[in-house]
Amino acid sequence: MKRIVIVGATSGLGLETARLCIREGWRVGAAGRRIEALEALRNEAPGQVEIEPLDITRDDAPEHLGRLIERLGGMDIYFHSSGIGSRNTDLNPEIELATLRTNGEGFVRMVVAAFGYFRSLGGGHIAVISSIAGTKGLGSAPAYSATKRMQNTYIDALAQLARMDGYGIRFTDIRPGFVATPLLSEKGHYPMLMKTEKVARRIMQVLRKPRRRVVIDRRYALFVFFWKLIPQWLWERLKIRQKA
């Protein structure tokens, strides 16, 4: 029976993945800011789920993570599904800085804590949800795309560090395209929008059999392939906006 801790388990992909893990018979440690949502998830499978409210932007979040791991009886997989993002062509500084605190500072805080736990054991699996938005800088969401690029690079660096020091820690960088979760504004139009359930099922596949990096789904994998070929001078001249 695997033991997985999911940070960001109160909605969206984190919640749906937690439910799939429960169906697999795994023990689930669910963490997030909304205690009511955590309690509702625990009520779905009281014998399999432990919960812990935490806010990844707070300094005490790793302490809460440690308590959750202890109640769970250990951790085999750390799954980071917590993040925020907004269209911000007006460059509202509050939005940009809040995105940086959550997707940057909060991400590093929790992944470092998970890395430290697995390092003490000599192995484990860290899986994170980043985004295809990290491929190029998106003018419609500057802080979001920049923090997702940072997440990609940070996981690359930790994977090298683990290999250099001989720790048996595996890493999975999961990069979805547009997913119908509360993260996306209901007012926007997003091409190739994927259902949460479909993406969660793909995530479960890589949690069972880890891969280093995966783009969800095949359409987006092809999209990103050609996206990378666009020269910078041309990219800066493209008008890429989600339709209202």
**CB–CB of 174/217 below 8 Å?**
no
What gap in Å lies between CA 84 and CA 58, rounded to an integer? 15
Q: Whole-angstrom distance between the N-terminal and C-terminal Cα of the chain?
A: 45
144 is catalytic: yes
Under a CB-based contact definition with an 8 Å cutoff, are residues 126 and 172 in contact? Answer: yes
d(CA 152, CA 134): 7
Is residue 193 within 8 Å of 148, Cβ to Cβ? Answer: no
The structure tokens listed for 180 are: 């119908």
In angstroms and rounded to an integer, the radius of gyration of the C-alpha atoms of the chain is 18
Largest alpha-carbon pair distance within the chain? 56
Helix (H) or strand (E) holding 124: strand 123-129
Q: Are 178 and 184 in contact (CB under 8 A)?
A: yes
Catalytic residue among 144, 154, 167, 220: 144
Catalytic residue positions, numbered: 144
